[in-house]
Chains A and B, each alone.
Chain A
Amino acid sequence: MTTNHYTLKVNGKEHQVADAWTGESLLWVLRERLGLPGAKNACEEGECGSCSVRIDNEVVCGCLVLAATAVDCEITTIEGLAPEGELADVQEAFIEAGAVQCGFCTPGLLVTIDKLLETNDQPDDLTVREAISGNLCRCTGYGRILEAVNLAATKRREATS
């Protein structure tokens, strides 16, 4: 098998990847090589959003990124959403609103919603639903998640005012 070595910058830190098989996705490398299993592997074909990460400020499916091509990028995962020991507004909101059940969809949703609120801190219901339409949740029916987004938006508006 041909192998690669390269450097990835994740959550502000540089990580060396060595002897990696060419076909490894960024999701797999994060989870199995870099000790960052926050992004999840519910489908690995871009149909569930559980692997959502930010690359250079766009939210994409980490499973659809070839890890070796993600060099010279700023990669942000769920582990980098807030400084160590702190919770971001979206994370607090999810807990308060009861939006977490099994939690498997949660990291992907948080990354997606964090980005949404950056561009729109007062999104209406349909806007939120379309923004998270690529994040499947099987446990909640999305009700408490929508509530969490409203709560987080309020927190964010209050923090910036």
Chain B
Amino acid sequence: MTDIQITSPVSAPRIGESAPRPDGVPKVTGAFTFSSDLWHNNMLWGGTLRSPHPSANIKSIDISGALAINGVSAVLTYTDVPGSLLYGLEHADQPVLAADVVRYEGESVAIVAADHPETVRRALAAIVVDYQVTVPLVDPEAAEAAEPIHPDGNLIRRLRLRHGDQNIQGEIQVEGTYEVGMQDQAFLGPESGLALPSEDGGVELFVSTQWLHSDRDQVAVCLGLPPEKVRFTLSGVGGAFGAREDLSLHAHLCLLALHTGRPVKMVYSREESFHGHVHRHPARMWYRHHADTEGNLLRVEARLILDGGAYASSSGAVISNATCFAAGPYLIPSADIDGAVVRTNNPTCGAMRGFGAVQTCVGHEAQMDKLAAALGMDPVELRLKNALKSGDKLLTGQTITGTAPVAEVIKSCAHHPSTLLPSDDMMSLPGGAGRTADPHHIVRGQAMAVGFKNLLFSEGFDDYSSAICHLVDGVATITCACAEVGQGFVTLAQQITREVLGVEEVILAPAATATVGSAGSTSASRQTWMSGGAVQKACEAVRQQLLERIADQHQVNLDDLVLVDGQIVSLAGNFSLDLAAATTEPLEADIEYHHAPTYPVDENGQGDAHVSFAFAAHRAVVDVDPELGLVKVIELTTSQDVGRLLNPLQAVGQLEGGTSQGVGLAVMEEVLVTDGHIRNASFTDYLIPTALDMPPVEIAAFIEQPEPGAPFGAKGIGEPPSISSTAAVVAALRDATKRELPRVPVRPTDIVQLENDTL
């Protein structure tokens, strides 16, 4: 049982303590305002007409029928976009509203504002679009050679990585081809927001997102407005996991508000949500690993192809991650890896927690197990033998200058005792209430996997963050545009402020483009480091200002002064001042925080492209009914490299939550796409783990080796749990079934393998 100290809300918890969330009370009482809870007197409802075809030319759009409906205030198409028609995270390649072509099922074609969602629905049904349906490009392996489906071409990005001596060959070689299906982030809070026209001709938007300023910048260009007139404020976010990094309804809502002169609210249905955001890239991966007879890894070759769907989104960065981390956290002197992400008429793919490393972890861990079998070696021993450590070179040629406790992560996880309790209850068997099996039908399997990825953005991006600290009357107010999506940044912001300033009360101002600079994206496990760092530096700047003032006023040594427990204390012992009394005159600092520079990779994929790395391992135990192929994950154990624990209770939440998403990808989650059509755009058939599907997650160890250069030495912790978890569960299934299982999610038919089965 994970042993966590829970501090009482009465104290003023600092770094390292399990401070309770500041938004906990409103969230448990239902008072917390998510973007779908927004409401304005006089508001209209917005809706979107979407293409039913994955590929078609648009001959005409007739909105007259919709405009004639009583209660409809606006029907807009691409001709109503005042500024740039195109937007995009990496490349502006996607239209706000489709003009003459649609490239994926669900692409936005028209938007409507009306007095009631039912009116909106009828108006959308009354819009007549003349589509000339074309054959969609749906095979990613055919994409590069096929006719371009977009002016930017069908190859979004290719990376070639050549590391070390290309002539090395190993006496032991294992090959495999692996496939990962399309996962969905499946956040619970639907895409939603409220836009209000401003008196100065601008517009205000309250929205759920991961990156407020990037959204605002893209939308301002589409609206043809200067950025200062486009004011985005973060509303309550119901989860994100990568799906809110791109725009969804932002420009649409702003257009409708500006056009109608009234507030407009929009909420996506769940079905619409599946079509309206990017998904995890499906991947096909071929690997060949070379080793010597002692089990030293010598070389890895890999060919990766990711299906990016219709628009580029963040695909370029995803394939870079996948390629750089393709072989896992192991020291390998030679590599030849080719990674490509291509454009198809399948649903658009982009960021999802783990960002390319999830897919390749499935591949490299399957390979490591194959290699162990070929060598007659214990799979854990093989991994330990080759585990990266500080000072080692990655496949990109970059030396790990920070911490890399890979061996500690692996050992602590592998050696952790099982916490399994035997159970007679039918509900604890695969099949649950379906009563499909008796205990003697079940086979058990166990296995481990290890994974890693970078923290923060890469390849020279410079994803800075900003924060303002304002101190008056002993109360600190922090303004930071970091998108709180559930991960608990808001808690850390308070803890950091208390740590630096010794205050008790910390107010968090709304996150808004109008009041503070960009905090970058809530992704890449970066916010604790970057926005935590910005908050830390802003508080330190205020502290410096204050202490300089006090030192001057009281003629004492600046170096003798500290802030602690609401007091300004002289360490020389001659006085202490009440902080509140000493800060009747406000102090403020507005800080931009940057990480150490990173660099693009060269034509061989070599370069110091990343700031830092984090590692994790999982051990999974699964019960399988081999005759029916039904599965239950019954134990999960994990260790993770965290640098330093800033809030143990929240850290547990991240490891447990990320692990459950990995379990989902291993055994049940897939967006099923046939000829470009999504067949399961609902929670009825896109299945995420319920409380009966998830075992407890036993945390074997948080490995704390402070990371140099990271605020408080803390590494980001959000992504690693979602990386090695999938690979561990699949490996455990292989152990139980003795099947190769090269594809995730593993379906019952993959385990049973019936003759003539159509899958």
- Known contacts: A98-B653, A141-B660, A142-B694. The answer to whether A136 contacts B28 by CB under 8 A is no
By a CB distance below 8 angstroms, the chain B residues around A8 are none
Q: Chain A 82-113 against B: per-residue CB contact (8 Å), 1 yes, 0 no? A: 10000100010011111011111111001000
Q: Does B697 lie at the interface of the complex (its beta carbon under 8 Å from any beta carbon of A)?
A: yes
Q: Does B128 lie at the interface of the complex (its beta carbon under 8 Å from any beta carbon of A)?
A: no
Q: Is the CB–CB distance between B270 and A143 below 8 Å? A: no
Q: Does B187 lie at the interface of the complex (its beta carbon under 8 Å from any beta carbon of A)?
A: yes
Among residues of B, the one whose C-beta sits closest to the C-beta of A86 is: B29
**Among the listed stretches A30-38, A67-75, A153-161, which one makes contact with chain B, having 4 or more residues with CB under 8 Å of it?**
A30-38
Q: Chain B 1-28 against A: per-residue CB contact (8 Å), 1 yes, 0 no? A: 0101010010000000010110111011
Q: Does B276 lie at the interface of the complex (its beta carbon under 8 Å from any beta carbon of A)?
A: no
By a CB distance below 8 angstroms, the chain A residues around B9 are 95
Q: How far is the CA of A78 from the CA of B659 in the complex (A)?
A: 29
Tell me whether chain B's interface is mostly helix, strand or loop, or mixed: loop
Q: Is the CB–CB distance between B683 and A47 below 8 Å? A: yes
Give chain B nearest CB distance to A89 CB in angstroms: 11
Q: Does B553 lie at the interface of the complex (its beta carbon under 8 Å from any beta carbon of A)?
A: no
Q: Does B257 lie at the interface of the complex (its beta carbon under 8 Å from any beta carbon of A)?
A: no
Among residues of B, the one whose C-beta sits closest to the C-beta of A41 is: B36
Among residues of A, the one whose C-beta sits closest to the C-beta of B662 is: A141
Q: Is the CB–CB distance between B116 and A143 below 8 Å? A: no
Interface range, A side: 35 or more
Query: Which listed residue (A95, A102, A140, A141) contacts B237, Cβ 8 A?
Result: A102
Q: Does A130 lie at the interface of the complex (its beta carbon under 8 Å from any beta carbon of B)?
A: yes
Q: Is the CB–CB distance between B485 and A102 below 8 Å? A: yes
Q: Does A121 lie at the interface of the complex (its beta carbon under 8 Å from any beta carbon of B)?
A: no
By a CB distance below 8 angstroms, the chain A residues around B188 are 40, 42, 48, 50, 102, 104-105, 136-138
- Known contacts: A44-B269, A91-B28. The answer to whether A130 contacts B116 by CB under 8 A is no
Q: Does B649 lie at the interface of the complex (its beta carbon under 8 Å from any beta carbon of A)?
A: yes
Q: Does B488 lie at the interface of the complex (its beta carbon under 8 Å from any beta carbon of A)?
A: yes
**Among the listed stretches B360-368, B525-533, B685-693, which one makes contact with chain A, having 4 or more residues with CB under 8 Å of it?**
B685-693
Q: Is the CB–CB distance between B30 and A138 below 8 Å? A: no
Q: How far is the CA of A105 from the CA of B32 in the complex (A)?
A: 12
Tell me whether chain A's interface is mostly helix, strand or loop, or mixed: loop
Q: Is the CB–CB distance between B27 and A106 below 8 Å? A: yes
Interface range, B side: 35 or more
Which of A39, A78, A100, A136 has the largest number of chain B CB atoms within 10 A? Answer: A100
Which B643-694 residues have a C-beta within 8 angstroms of A?
A: 649-650, 652-653, 656-661, 682-684, 688-692, 694
Which B176-194 residues have a C-beta within 8 angstroms of A?
A: 185-190
Query: Which listed residue (B4, B34, B239) contacts A139, Cβ 8 A?
Result: B239
Query: Which listed residue (A39, A91, A133) contacts B690, Cβ 8 A?
Result: A133
Q: How far is the CA of A107 from the CA of B28 in the complex (A)?
A: 6
Q: Is the CB–CB distance between A102 and B30 below 8 Å? A: no
By a CB distance below 8 angstroms, the chain B residues around A110 are 28
Query: Which listed residue (B28, B270, B487) contacts A43, Cβ 8 A?
Result: B270
Q: Does B428 lie at the interface of the complex (its beta carbon under 8 Å from any beta carbon of A)?
A: yes
Q: Does A115 lie at the interface of the complex (its beta carbon under 8 Å from any beta carbon of B)?
A: no
Q: Is the CB–CB distance between B696 and A146 below 8 Å? A: yes
By a CB distance below 8 angstroms, the chain B residues around A141 are 656-660, 689, 694, 697
Q: How far is the CA of A78 from the CA of B684 in the complex (A)?
A: 25
Q: Does A15 lie at the interface of the complex (its beta carbon under 8 Å from any beta carbon of B)?
A: no
Q: How far is the CA of A42 from the CA of B267 in the complex (A)?
A: 10
Q: Is the CB–CB distance between B118 and A23 below 8 Å? A: yes
By a CB distance below 8 angstroms, the chain B residues around A77 are 30
Q: How far is the CA of A78 from the CA of B649 in the complex (A)?
A: 25
Could you list 23 examples of A-B contacts with CB < 8 Å? A21-B118, A32-B39, A37-B33, A40-B34, A40-B36, A42-B190, A43-B270, A47-B683, A95-B9, A95-B20, A95-B21, A98-B20, A98-B649, A101-B488, A102-B237, A103-B236, A104-B34, A106-B27, A130-B691, A136-B188, A138-B657, A138-B660, A140-B660
